[in-house]
Structure 1
Amino acid sequence: MSHLTQEERDSLPDSAFGLPEKRAYPIDTRARASNAKARATQEYERGLLTSEERDRIDKAADRRLAQDD
């Protein structure tokens, strides 16, 4: 998984993020979707995300992971 540059990140549509209103947790690739799920769980356990936010990220990532590439 390659690092997103700011330019690449800015060019992604809101739908390519687990939390589109914050443009956080990119899920534009399968690798990033898997990473978003893992990071969301970690952030939730640290008290930095609500359970609702974690669930939204998981659902968005699961939809991306279910797609055929």
Structure 2
Amino acid sequence: MSKDLSDADSRDGLEDGSFALPDERKCPILDVAHVRNALARVAQDGTAQEQKTVRAAVEKRYPSLKESDKD
């Protein structure tokens, strides 16, 4: 089960490395559920640079989710 990060108090306790966009503390990537959400949200609303940054952070933290490995 994913950790509920819907309020600021929950997010404040996380390290910057828990976010794909740490400067803005956006796109938490604590587990696969959060990774999927981060990728979906940045695809909808993120700039091209944010999309690249999030994808790189995901692939660094979860190498098995590399986009180039998908069929």
Which bracket does the TM-score occupy, shorter chain normalised?
A: 0.7 to 0.9
Equivalent residue for 2:44, pick from 23, 42, 45? 42
Aligned residue-pair number: 62
Instruction: Give 4+ residue runs of structure 1 displaced > 4 Å after superposition.
Output: none
What is the TM-score of this pair, normalised by structure 1?
Answer: 0.74
Q: Distance in 1 between matches of 2:59 and 2:40?
A: 12
Q: CA deviation at 1:29?
A: 1.3
Aligned with 1:3: secondary structure?
A: coil
Q: CA RMSD in A?
A: 1.7
Equivalent residue for 2:11, pick from 9, 14, 35? 9
Q: Percent identity?
A: 34
Deviations 1:21-48 (A, max 9, x none): 00001111111011101111011xxxxx
> Unpaired runs of 5+ in structure 1?
44-48
AA paired with 1:6? A
> Unpaired runs of 5+ in structure 2?
65-71
Q: CA deviation at 1:2?
A: 4.6
